[in-house]
Amino acid sequence: MPRINSPDELEKVRNEMVSRRDPGRACISICAGTGCLASGASEVISAFKAEIEKQGLETAVDTKGTGCPGFCERGPVLVIYPEEICYLQVKPEDVAEIVSQTIKEKKVVDRLLYVDPATGEKAIRESDIPFYKYQVRHIIGNNIKIDPKSIDDYLALGGYSALARVLFRMSPEQALEEVKRSNLRGRGGGGFPAGRKWEESRNAPNDIKYVIVNADEGDPGAFMDRAILEGNPHSILEGLMIGGYAIGSHEGYIYVRQEYPLAVENVIIAIQQAEAYGLLGKNILGSGFDFIVKMHRGAGAFVSGESSALMTALEGRVGEPRPKYIHTAARGLWDRPSVLNNVETWANVPLIINKGADWFCQLGAEGSKGTKIFSLVGKINNTGLVEVPMGITLRDIIYQVGGGITGGKRFKAVQTGGPSGGCIPEDKLDMKVDFDELTRAGSMMGSGGMIVMDEDTCMVDIARYFLDFLSDESCGKCVPCREGIRQMLKILTNISKGNGREGDIELLEELSETTQNASLCALGKSAPNPVLSTIRYFREEYEAHIKEKKCPAYFCKEIVSYWIDPEKCQACMICLRKCPADAIEGGKKQIHAVDQEKCTKCGTCFEVCPPRFGAVKRISGEPIPPPIPEESRMVLRE
């Protein structure tokens, strides 16, 4: 690669790249993110390359693996340009038909299109699919267009133009002021204004300063940062360098969790390519600005995502939080000023520099500007990554973008903010999603996890599940966090088993308050959120578990039983054949019964019993009717 020594040379290289690319030429972009690779994307990519060569179309068609476009549930996903035809759940055996029909004959393969489950209508273009149609994808929109292992793809779409702008047309103070005016708030959880953090580091009295990417994404079900790192790593490098220039730093770190091997691979390649072009390293673009980036692989601990713990890990020690009497922006890594932002925050910076703070502020709520990427998972039809404007309602995310609840069931709650977030009920679906509104509702933005729950979800068990996760992930350094979470988990476990006692709810609230106020770091301070929010909005479920020994959602195994109504049993033997524990008694043309000693309460019998019979019943908080004696089980009428 030739070194680029000035902004003019950068534009010349970019223009040459664009001129060599025919906008009318067919290009098959296939998602090669972790989710689609797990669904067989690498085999699909190989099949396309082989089929195109077989049909002699090498000079007419481009094929490339790209980053994640978000619709992970329907992977492998591919988009054919310039028509923007989108095919979902593509298999290697579909490839020959796609090449013959779509590439050569310009015909659409109907069976691979998105079909709206409500209307039955098919969407040909990616932008017509409801999952994409209602999003505003400033950050992840280019993922499907870029080969993350090719810096040329990033340059062709305007990459590194923001870096050139700040180095030659803006002073560090002006770059900092633009980020401050945008009111960009950190997308990693706390929502602290990025510009204010940068300013504190810039003003700190130390010549050596650092900028750091926090890619230690540990929330269950969250993969926003992973998708950006895997799909568009150069956007992170560009944002990081702009941040370094603004605060007077010449060294950056990217802290990536060990479980993200593809992200690590693509970032390392991106660093090497940027260095080869002279866009990273000494005298960048001939500006006199020097900047290096180092990669660090984390050990995988959830608590390492906390700022002081992450910096401790970067220093080569165990990633444990430390008291922050002084902000890490002033004294962080090696006691030097350090700006730590997460992946999505850094990815916004080049957009703000290129398009301006006023453009960025056009979207969003009063105190939360721009867009936010969420990991939309759970009991919802369209799962995956969604990027929407701040201020959108929960209802629009769940029902327009997400396509509603699976199985036509009733929505019950949505948990936002990861394991330290809170659960928001149905009567708040019209609440606007931004940092401040979520906090007022007893939850938080967090890094962007969003888990949708339906009527079959037990809210006591949800609180227990997240406390179990946090108990394991607490570093144990401070007593309020270590023992507070452990004791809350013990109480929640007893309640879910039907062993709850009067006063347990009040004790949970008291423990939550102490843990919040006395814990050293954000893990302990936010850990009670799942408990407090479920008590706040679903207190009646706690009371049912404690007073009636009943689980209203019929989820908690210890207080749920299954029983077959002899008046409705048709002796179809489906439950008998499907029961994994051989707990169903009966025979052909005989009324069945559940052997309560053998039953593991897995619920299989309830799930497989034909709805028209409805013979298998769930019981919680009430006695099980006595079984019919075997000798009295009459043979059913013919």
Token pair recorded at residue 27? 């290009």
Q: Are strands 114-115 and 122-123 parallel, antiparallel or unpaired?
A: antiparallel
Q: What is the pLDDT of residue 634?
A: 64
Q: What is the pLDDT of residue 638?
A: 44
Three-state SS at 204:
coil
Asked whether 372 and 348 are in contact (CB, 8 A), the reply is: no
Q: How far apart are CA 355 and CA 222, in angstroms?
A: 29
Token pair recorded at residue 261? 């091997």
Q: How far apart are CA 622 and CA 619, in angstroms?
A: 6
Three-state SS at 340:
strand
CA distances from 422 to 129, 397, 474 (A): 30, 17, 18
CA distances from 111 to 89, 107, 370, 636 (A): 10, 12, 36, 46
CA distances from 478 to 34, 507, 553 (A): 36, 20, 36
Map tokens 């452990």 to a residue.
Answer: 486
Three-state SS at 548:
coil
Q: Which of 472, 470, 413 is nearest to 443 (CA)?
A: 413
Q: What is the pLDDT of residue 630?
A: 66
Q: How far apart are CA 557 and CA 228, in angstroms?
A: 40
Three-state SS at 91:
coil
Rounded to the nearest 10 degrees, the angle between the axes of helix 343-355 and helix 224-231 is: 60
Q: How many CB atoms lie within 10 A of CB 119?
A: 8
Q: What is the pLDDT of residue 74?
A: 92
With 0-12 / 13-18 / 19 or more C-beta atoms within 10 angstroms meaning exposed / middle / buried, residue 540 is: exposed
Token pair recorded at residue 18? 């664009």
The counts of H helices and E strands in the chain are: 24, 19
Q: Which residues contact 446 (CB under 8 A, 6 or more apart)?
A: 189, 219, 416, 417, 418, 420, 421
Map tokens 């992970």 to a residue.
Answer: 72
H-type alpha helices, 151-258: 151-156, 161-169, 172-182, 194-203, 224-231, 233-247
Question: How many whole angstroms from its chain centre is CA 499?
Answer: 35
Token pair recorded at residue 583? 């707990």
Angle at 78 between CA 73 and CA 79, to 5 degrees: 125
Q: Which H or E run includes 388? A: strand 384-389
3-state helix, strand, coil in the chain (%, to 5): 45, 15, 40
Could you write out the DSSP letters of every residue in 584-634? Answer: EE--TTB--EE-TTT-----HHHHHS-TTT--EEEE-SSPPPPPPPGGG-P
The answer to whether the bond into 626 is cis (omega within 30° of 0) is no
Q: How far apart are CA 586 and CA 633, in angstroms?
A: 8
What are the contacts of 92-95 at 24+ separation with CB within 8 A? 92/40, 92/43, 92/44, 92/46, 92/47, 95/44, 95/47, 95/48, 95/51
Q: Which of 176, 175, 219, 228 is nearest to 200 (CA)?
A: 176
DSSP 583: -
Q: Walk me through the domains of the chain, giving residue ranges and CATH numbers.
A: 22-131 (3.40.30.10), 159-361 (3.40.50.11540), 371-454 (3.10.20.600), 459-547 (1.20.1440.230), 560-632 (3.30.70.20)
Question: How many whole angstroms from its chain centre is CA 423?
Answer: 16
Q: Is the pTM of this model over 0.75?
A: yes
DSSP 32: -
Q: How far apart are CA 121 and CA 532, in angstroms?
A: 43
- Residues lower than pLDDT 50 in the chain: 637-638
DSSP 363: S
Beta strands in 21-60 (DSSP E): 26-31
Map tokens 């990217």 to a residue.
Answer: 254
Q: What's the Rg (C-alpha) of the chain? A: 28
Q: What are phi and psi of 346, to 5 degrees?
A: -60, -35
Sheet containing strand 251-257, strands side by side: 292-298, 251-257, 210-215, 338-342
Q: Which residues contact 355 (CB under 8 A, 6 or more apart)?
A: none
Q: How far apart are CA 595 and CA 592, in angstroms?
A: 10
Q: Which residues contact 237 (CB under 8 A, 6 or more apart)?
A: 270, 271, 274, 280, 293
Q: What is the pLDDT of residue 199?
A: 96
Q: Which residues contact 282 (CB under 8 A, 6 or more apart)?
A: 290
Q: Which residues contact 517 (CB under 8 A, 6 or more apart)?
A: 480, 525
Asked whether 471 and 500 are in contact (CB, 8 A), the reply is: no
Q: Are strands 114-115 and 85-87 parallel, antiparallel or unpaired?
A: unpaired
